Amino acid sequence: MNIKNIHLAYYSATFSTRRIVREIASQFEKPVKEYDITSDVPKNDVSLDSDGDLLIVGVPSYAGRVPEIAARSLKRFLGNNTPVIIVCVYGNRAYDDTLIELKDIVEAHGFKLVSAAAVIAQHSIFPKVAEGRPDADDMEKLHSFAAKSNDILSQISKMSAVSRLMVNGNRPYRDTKLIPLHPEGSKSKCTSCHACAKMCPVGAISMEEPFKTNEKKCISCGRCIVVCPEHARHFGGLLYKAASWKFEKDYAEPKQPEFFYVR
């Protein structure tokens, strides 16, 4: 199969997932069209061909599941036995059912899996966990993953004849629970540049009081923290300190990326 165009769709609140899937896509050395589905569901369907198109999808694992916004957005991508590579990114705890849920979403909309990856990145809530990941060794493994995926594609004549790829995870998927930890804003540091309000995926920050967080809307993705030029936002409080201590202790052992390929 001759791949001519790469379509890259990613949900990436803190930009780690974007970095990872861009690195994978770059190894194919083909034209890339990006779809950032972090904040908005595409208004129109994105239909891809079975001959010449490759979709690469990347999402973070939120409590072991595909983020709800990402799941809604990905239903806009329609294939016709179109090859797809899926990637889930997690912060060294576990990706649980994220990869299998992502597989189910893309397969239900006409795509055929070529390969899949579960990759570690710095945790978005507890940044001392997997700090510095993905590192140089991770990137080398991603390059090998892309090369092997490309080699598999080159040997396929018809995607319709490709067997289904199995990945780790369970059905039914694990129940999701709201995370009781939310970023706090510093009123004294806030300059009302509104970067956080404009880029919050769920509209949990108002333009009038950007130093506050609507906890009922907040999904604890950490985007407001990484986009604030004044470093005026952070996770904090006694509950966070206690949770941080336990999480850092429980998940200090570095995990390694996992890769899956169709046979």
| Residue-level pLDDT at 160 | 83
| Residue-level pLDDT at 87 | 98
Question: Distance between CA 162 and CA 8 in Å, rounded?
Answer: 22
| Residue-level pLDDT at 159 | 85
Residues of the chain short of pLDDT 70, as ranges, are: none
| Residue-level pLDDT at 40 | 79
Taking alpha carbons only, the member of 9, 21, 11 closest to residue 45 is: 9
Query: 205: which DSSP letter?
Result: S
Alpha helices in the chain (DSSP H): 16-26, 68-74, 98-108, 136-154, 195-199, 223-227, 238-250
| Residue-level pLDDT at 141 | 98
The predicted-structure confidence for 8-57, as pLDDT tens digits, reads as follows 999 999 999 999 999 999 999 999 999 999 987 888 999 998 789 999 99
Quote the pTM value.
0.96
